[in-house]
Chain A
């Protein structure tokens, strides 16, 4: 391995040795439990809007767990966390501006 490549590998090792493997199993367990809750709620036939709100909230929690622990974002520098997450949130928010138009289309109806 080239020395530069070796240096990067050393850097990766430094960042990963802060914590044990147990937290990965905990996060996996929590993700499975959250999935089980979502599937259980599906069988309860809730009102669609209520179901959607609960599912989206749980999905955001699952996303935070996967990004924070599995993708190691929790252990990155602050600047990296803020820049990457704000950028994608901003782009998605821009996309969502047109959502109310869907309700307008619904009330316009068909010819």
Chain B
């Protein structure tokens, strides 16, 4: 047992854990259980709304389905690279750990970029919410304008579910960046914020949502400077648990929101 490797002046370490593992991992599991209830509640509300609405639209053509499938492949691959990063951390291979973590972040960024492009396309074609600014100089296609007008819950549930998930993925990329690069990640994060803010048109919701990255940069800077520590394999494992959870949620959102709303003749 692990107790044999511990020095005798740490009595707390001898107490057997109810779950048979270390507190940080239990803490992350508890958070993931609560977060799964958040997504469960949203998916339940979506399903309830869908069942009780007789004319629920199914407007996603092949192009949207293909895009969503590529996004799914990105996330599944990122889960693989994450697990390889944990193994590299366990094997004390710092270089491989950093590379696999960066690969995971790259796949996550790929997912967010594809998702952002899809959102922008849908908003421009008329599937929008009142809170989103209108896209100037773009004629919305009749199909999506009709959907947004006749069944507004479609747009609301779509953007709420996928938006919350996209936020989780973005925060996950930041979390992995902090674990992989520590203080060196803060300037990179600030560059990402500027790129997201200045690279999006003023009428895009992402132009404003980009400031989430600035907020995360401030929070991470506080944590990294006030509580500096060496992130070891347990930290990588716990970060991995969060990342796999994000992938897990997508395994339910993808079929329920995209595949069940497909229109392919």
Contact = CB atoms under 8 A, between A and B. Distances in A.
A70 B76 CA distance: 11
Nearest to B229: A5
A16 B86 CA distance: 9
Interface of A: 1, 3-17, 21, 24-25, 28, 31-32, 35, 38-39, 41-43, 45, 48, 51-52, 55-56, 58-59, 62-63, 66-67, 69-72, 76-77, 79-80, 83-84, 87-88, 91-92, 95-96, 98-99, 101-103, 105-106
A77 B54 contact: no
- B interface, how many residues as a size bin? 35 or more
B76 A32 contact: yes
B184 interface: no
B2 A48 contact: no
A38 B65 CA distance: 11
Contacts of A96: 44
A89 B18 CA distance: 20
Interface in B61-99: 62, 65, 69, 72-73, 76-77, 79-80, 82-84, 86-87, 90
Contacts of A51: 259-260
Contacts of A42: 65, 259, 262, 264
B27 interface: no
Contacts of B240: 70-71
B232 A5 contact: yes
Interface in B26-62: 29, 33, 36-37, 40-41, 44, 47-49, 51-54, 62
B255 interface: yes
A32 B33 contact: no
Contacts of B36: 88, 92
Given A11-B21, A12-B234, A91-B33, 9 more contacts: A4-B6, A7-B6, A9-B234, A15-B21, A16-B87, A24-B84, A38-B259, A42-B264, A102-B48
A75 B68 CA distance: 32
B157 interface: no
B260 A43 contact: no
Contacts of A10: 2, 5
B2 A21 contact: no
